[in-house]
Amino acid sequence: MIKSFSILLLFICSLGFSQETYLDTLKTEIEGKENPKQHLYNLLLSENANYKLAVISNALGLQFQRESNLDSAFYCHNKALEYALKVNDNNQEIGVSYNKIGVVYYYRGELDSAIVYFKKSIPYYQEKSLKANSYNNLAIMNKYNSSPDLAIENYLLAYDIYKSIKDTVKQVYVLSNIGALYNDLTSFDKAKEYLNRGILLAKQSSNKDGELNCKANLGKTYADTKNFDKAVPLLKECIAYYEENEGYQFLIVNKNNLANCFDDQGDKETALKVYLEILELVEETGIENSKEAILINVGTSYQELGDYEKALRYTKEALEFSKSNSLVLRYEPIYKSLSSIYQSMNNMDSSLYYKNLQIALRDSLDNVEREKKMMELEAEHQNEELNSDLKSTQSELDETEKRRALISKSLIYSLIIILITVFGVVIFYTRYKKKKLLSEELTVRNKKNRSDIKDLESTLGTKNEEIETLSNLKEKRKEPYPKDLDALTEREQEVLVGVQEGLKDQEIADKLFISITTVRTHLRKAYSKIDARNRAEAIQFISKFEI
């Protein structure tokens, strides 16, 4: 839930910057236009003042962001930065441009670059709210970049500023974000402290949305600490609120947390009922972000209750949905569930069939993943080079602007500055074209990889001889699970598979739709059963034995 709000807040921050009166005038001017982009293009051609050109370029970049045209948005915001740097060294539009470039990097998934530009924006702000927004953006980036301590530090800096300007709405959401982050770190006492502070402040300021946001996160904290007596009433209160206000995205998240509470308490029938309500809500609203995971939860619940026909029906529906949406990474757990269901039905042929599909797909995905990682490393290397060149060019531009201020009366030096500026623009445009070509090349290669995966899937299961061959290969690869060891539960097996795939605890939790605390509990029990002390020994065991 906090992730959804963080993304929303980041986008609001990117739209909410104002620079004196010209931007307000510009916003009013383009509101009634049929084609705002064309109007902004015309303004760029007719305007000469660098400050106005910077504001117009940033406004045009936001238009491209709304269309998800990130390359064009990136170009416009960089042009805005170039214009803003020509105005003076203490110009707030410089900070606005840096921030907007950081937002584009975030949408591209380049968190390190986003962090660099958000940091650059902060010194240029005269308005405290803009500085606080950049600290908040930094916190979100550091959270997603696995730097929770830095994220909390950034959130606290933003909170202090919001407090100084008496912005209680954003104070509440920052407190909620901090509490949720401490919950992810399993610092549950700290999480409760900040979330309760957020609830109290929200009540004092009549901020019902913020109050329920904090309560939802507090309910999850209680659920993760197995304090279900407190978790369930909070989650039910949040569900009632979001049902009344049609906040369906948050409603689905809270209902799922509630179902997990019942599941963890062993109340499988109530958990199934809530899972089915979530599925019905997904169908009604069309919010299908995690539909396949919900279908798997329903199928698993039916299997645990012994209704194998319904378990089979919902799990197959999850497979159809995943295939129709090309969710290749979801095939393997679905194949595994189908194999388990058929085994429970004593249909060993079908169980073996899906087990072999699972193994074959895992092998193929391993190869694709290796190639993908190589491509990512190559792209990252290229990106670092481009960023280095961009920083170098920016440094040259900054130095040039300082020299221009001192020798502005000299025509000769003015001409030199113009030539250097043009040279910098050419370098930047060249780098931009190279990066665009690299992006297109990666897109083509990704399409080819997806095509290869589809070709592989089309050949699976067409011949019984291939299944038998895969079965023989499986037997050669791994030894049977040692009889002298305690058997692993289904969930412990799923968590160990996530470890073998190289997933982090949070990623395993997201994949299985359970909490990170539950993941760690299953890991601890599984390690004890297979006598493994760490991830490396667990992977070595899984590679050697069938689990």
**At 135, which CATH number?**
1.25.40.10
pLDDT of amino acid 98: 92
pLDDT grade, residue 306 (50/70/90)? very high
Judgement on whether residues 381 and 464 belong to the same structural domain of the protein: yes
Judgement on whether residues 440 and 482 belong to the same structural domain of the protein: no
Contacts made by residues 121-129, CB under 8 angstroms, sequence distance 24+: 121/94, 121/95, 121/96, 121/97, 122/95, 123/95, 124/90, 124/91, 124/92, 124/94, 124/95, 124/96, 124/98, 125/92, 125/95, 126/92, 127/92, 128/161, 128/164, 128/165, 129/161, 129/162, 129/165, 129/167
Judgement on whether residues 107 and 60 belong to the same structural domain of the protein: yes
pLDDT of amino acid 429: 80
Task: List pLDDT tens digits, range 8-17.
Answer: 444 334 444 3
Task: List pLDDT tens digits, range 474-518.
Answer: 444 678 888 888 899 999 999 999 999 989 999 999 999 999 999
pLDDT grade, residue 147 (50/70/90)? confident
Judgement on whether residues 59 and 130 belong to the same structural domain of the protein: yes
How large is the average pLDDT for residues 275-283?
91
pLDDT at 333 over 80: yes
Q: Coil, strand or helix: which one is 508?
A: helix
Q: Between 281 and 6, whose confidence is greater?
A: 281
How large is the average pLDDT for residues 400-428?
75
Of all helices (H) and strands (E), which one includes residue 410? none
Judgement on whether residues 133 and 71 belong to the same structural domain of the protein: yes
How large is the average pLDDT for residues 360-376?
59
Contacts made by residues 353-360, CB under 8 angstroms, sequence distance 24+: 353/461, 353/467, 356/467, 356/470, 356/471, 356/474, 357/331, 357/460, 357/461, 358/332, 359/470, 359/474, 360/456, 360/460, 360/470
pLDDT grade, residue 436 (50/70/90)? confident
Does residue 308 belong to any structural domain of this protein?
A: no
What's the sign of the alpha-carbon dihedral 371, 374, 379, 380? positive
Which has the closest alpha carbon to 390: 15, 81, 63, 150? Answer: 81
Contacts of 264 (CB under 8 A, 6+ apart): 223, 226, 228, 518
pLDDT of amino acid 474: 44
Pick the last residue of a domain from 129, 144, 159. 144
φ and ψ at residue 108, rounded to 5 degrees: -80, -10
Contacts made by residues 123-130, CB under 8 angstroms, sequence distance 24+: 123/95, 124/90, 124/91, 124/92, 124/94, 124/95, 124/96, 124/98, 125/92, 125/95, 126/92, 127/92, 128/161, 128/164, 128/165, 129/161, 129/162, 129/165, 129/167, 130/17, 130/92, 130/95, 130/96, 130/99
Contacts of 507 (CB under 8 A, 6+ apart): 498
Give the distance from CA 58 to its chain's centroid. 25
Q: Are 199 and 208 in contact (CB under 8 A)?
A: no
pLDDT grade, residue 394 (50/70/90)? low
Judgement on whether residues 126 and 15 belong to the same structural domain of the protein: yes
Pick the last residue of a domain from 144, 178, 206. 144
pLDDT at 414 over 60: yes
How large is the average pLDDT for residues 430-449?
76
CA distance 143 to 3: 10
Lowest-pLDDT range of 18-27, 222-231, 242-251, 259-268: 18-27
Which has the closest alpha carbon to 177: 144, 222, 205, 207? Answer: 144
Does residue 317 belong to any structural domain of this protein?
A: no
In terms of residue numbers, what domain contains 98? Answer: 1-144
Does residue 53 belong to any structural domain of this protein?
A: yes
In sequence order, what are the beta bridge partners of 146?
none
Judgement on whether residues 40 and 73 belong to the same structural domain of the protein: yes
The CA angle 11-13-14, to the nearest 5 degrees, is: 65
Judgement on whether residues 97 and 45 belong to the same structural domain of the protein: yes
Judgement on whether residues 527 and 430 belong to the same structural domain of the protein: no
Share of the chain above pLDDT 70, in %: 82
Does residue 182 belong to any structural domain of this protein?
A: no
How large is the average pLDDT for residues 187-210?
94
pLDDT grade, residue 79 (50/70/90)? very high
Contacts of 430 (CB under 8 A, 6+ apart): none
DSSP code, position 482: P
Task: List pLDDT tens digits, range 113-142.
Answer: 888 999 999 898 888 988 898 898 888 888
Judgement on whether residues 379 and 433 belong to the same structural domain of the protein: yes
Contacts of 86 (CB under 8 A, 6+ apart): 50, 401
pLDDT at 460 over 50: no
Residue tagged 């297979």 (tokens): 530
Does residue 118 belong to any structural domain of this protein?
A: yes
Residue type, 445: R
Q: Coil, strand or helix: which one is 545?
A: strand
Which pTM does this prediction carry? 0.56
How large is the average pLDDT for residues 300-315?
92
CATH number for the domain spanning 482: value is 1.10.10.10
Q: Between 351 and 453, whose confidence is greater?
A: 351
Q: What is the CA radius of gyration of the chain?
A: 27
Pick the last residue of a domain from 144, 161, 190. 144
pLDDT of amino acid 17: 39
pLDDT of amino acid 158: 92
The number of domains in the chain is 3
Does residue 253 belong to any structural domain of this protein?
A: no
Q: Coil, strand or helix: which one is 471?
A: helix
How large is the average pLDDT for residues 153-170?
93
pLDDT grade, residue 469 (50/70/90)? very low
First to last CA, the chain: 33
pLDDT of amino acid 317: 92
**CA–CA distances in Å: residue 436 to residues 22, 43, 52, 415, 430:** 33, 26, 28, 32, 10
69's tokens: 């045209």
CA distance 342 to 319: 15
Judgement on whether residues 40 and 65 belong to the same structural domain of the protein: yes
Does residue 154 belong to any structural domain of this protein?
A: no
Does residue 75 belong to any structural domain of this protein?
A: yes
Judgement on whether residues 456 and 483 belong to the same structural domain of the protein: no
pLDDT grade, residue 398 (50/70/90)? low
CA distance 305 to 272: 9
pLDDT at 18 over 50: no
Q: Between 214 and 39, whose confidence is greater?
A: 214
Q: Between 407 and 217, whose confidence is greater?
A: 217
pLDDT at 19 over 70: no
pLDDT of amino acid 209: 92
Q: Are 308 and 347 in contact (CB under 8 A)?
A: no
